[in-house]
Homo-oligomer: A and B are copies of this chain.
Amino acid sequence: MSLLEILAGIFGVIGGCANFPQAYKIFKRKSAGDISIVTYLIIFISIILWTLYGIELRNPIIVIPNIFAFISVDAVIIGWFRFGRNNK
């Protein structure tokens, strides 16, 4: 495993968790009017496809971060439906 692979794996997981602060901010402030649902729906589909691609390559460095991304992006989407939908 190369240094770049290790870094990509670690930062991949950190990157996958990136949307947890966004979800936290939405639920804390009960506000998501500035959030673009179009952006998050595209990201959602993209994550599913990257996961399939990573499975095809049998590359856990692609698959594992996307599992974290799936959860954190879901949290943002749920937050938007709760707090952002009526505030376009």
Show the binding face of A for B, using Cβ within 8 Å: 2, 4-5, 7-8, 11-12, 14-15, 17-22, 24-26, 29, 31-36, 38-40, 42-43, 45-46, 49-50, 52-53, 56, 61, 84
Contacts and interface: CB of A to CB of B under 8 A. Distances in A.
A75 to B, nearest CB: 11
Nearest to A20: B39
Copies in the complex: 2
Contact of A84 (B4, B15, B34, B53): B34
Contacts of A20: 39
- The CB with the most chain B CB atoms within 10 A, among A17, A26, A38, is that of A38
11 contacts: A4-B56, A8-B49, A11-B46, A11-B49, A14-B42, A21-B38, A21-B39, A21-B42, A22-B38, A24-B36, A34-B34
